[in-house]
Structure 1
Amino acid sequence: MTDVLIIEDNMELAGLIRDFLQVEGYSVFTTDSGEKGMKYLAEHTAKLLLLDIMLPELDGLAICRLVREQHNLPILIMSARHGDDNKIIGLELGADDYLEKPFSVNLLTAKVKALLRRSYDMNDDKQLLVDGDIIINRASMQVYKKDQPLSVTSKEYELLVLLVNNKDKVLRKDWLFDKVWGADSFSEPSTLTVHINKLREKIEKNPKEPQRIVTIWGVGYKYEAV
């Protein structure tokens, strides 16, 4: 298993990131195209994807969507495109974090460590969480509804685990954001709302009238057991 897959057409930058991550003890594979990256993921397992947006032929946003449909691993987008619109698009397509170029490699390394820690080092010992027709297998990081696997991002997965582990408790928005993204995250707090809405689309009978993930206006959210 590879720790980090880097899809970046600037091979000088990709090499610099690879060298820094290898010093930290991570195994790294780099490629300069989305097609090669998808082929690699079809044949190998990676724990995290670092993804450039401006790639030749198949761009990073298209790759993000394809990876999210087929794999459950955290995705960090690296992009020279600035502005909230691009961040929102990336997050809605399933990315877990977004870093604008140019950036400090030390900052990128810190984000990689945080994403890997939050995605794979869960504190609770329960390996199987069950609520009605929703089953969460924490050993495989897979979510099932009516015995069918759901395609969820790593951040959606973390949110769902937190919510199910705290059934019938009102959880403040800032607490959820800090737990999943970290207090030092550069993501916007509105990212939480985007991910909650995506989760509702996947687990609720009627996402517009949620019965599981309930909004507590002015405070946060509560997961109600069915």
Structure 2
Amino acid sequence: GADDYVTKPFSVAEVVARVNAAVRRSKRFETSEADYTFDDFTLDVKGQVLRKGGEQLELSQKEFLMLKLFLENEGKVLSRQEILAKVWGFDYYGTDRTVDNFINKLRQKIEPDINAPSHILTMRGSGYKFLR
């Protein structure tokens, strides 16, 4: 199906930019099939579920994608804009506070102490960093 369109008249630069954006969006879905583990958690990439011990935890699609992004970039600071681009897509027009809301939801599910996060750390003025 159609992912984007260009109205006439258009510039070559605009077409190139839109093609590059489409390529970036498609790369969001190139995934490793390996599972990730931390503490008692296992993120089953193929099944798109999170388990603690043997119990399956409910994650929304965005929470799953965000956690996977953090695990793929462990120790690296990810800005809100980078998270938005990789989880919601480059064409997302909402506020970057959306990321903060989803971080809070994710922390409630994986952090031993929500008041002293040990996995998803806030890097003031920069973004967030994940540590196992």
The interval holding the TM-score normalised by the smaller chain is 0.7 to 0.9
Paired-residue identity, %? 31
The residue that corresponds to 2:9 in the other structure is: none
Deviation track 1:40-66 (CA, whole Å, cap 9, x = no partner) reads: xxxxxxxxxxxxxxxxxxxxxxxxxxx
The residue that corresponds to 2:72 in the other structure is: 165
Structure 2 letter corresponding to 1:189? D
The residue that corresponds to 1:155 in the other structure is: 62
Question: Matches of 1:201 and 1:182 in 2, distance apart?
Answer: 24
Which aligned runs of 4 or more in structure 1 are off by greater than 4 angstroms?
none
Q: CA RMSD in A?
A: 2.1
Contact 1:200 1:213 in 2 (8 A): yes
Question: Matches of 2:111 and 2:38 in 1, distance apart?
Answer: 12
Question: Matches of 2:60 and 2:47 in 1, distance apart?
Answer: 13
Verify: 1:192 aligned to 2:99, yes or no.
yes
The CA deviation at 1:196 is 0.4
Verify: 1:140 aligned to 2:47, yes or no.
yes
How many residue pairs match? The answer is 110
Deviation track 1:176-214 (CA, whole Å, cap 9, x = no partner) reads: 111111221122211100000000000001112100000
Structure 2 letter corresponding to 1:215? T
Contact 2:32 2:45 in 1 (8 A): no
Unmatched runs of 5 consecutive residues or more in structure 2: 2-21
TM-score (norm 1): 0.45
Unmatched runs of 5 consecutive residues or more in structure 1: 1-23, 25-113
Instruction: Output aligned runs, 1:87-166, within 5 Å.
Output: 122-166=29-73
Question: Matches of 2:81 and 2:61 in 1, distance apart?
Answer: 19
Highest RCO, 1 vs 2 (Cα 8 Å, sep ≥ 6):
2
Structure 1 letter corresponding to 2:62? K
| Mean Cα deviation higher: 206-215 or 126-135 | 126-135
Deviation track 1:156-181 (CA, whole Å, cap 9, x = no partner) reads: 00000000111111111111111111
The SS at the match of 2:78 is strand
TM-score (norm 2): 0.75
Contact 1:177 1:192 in 2 (8 A): yes
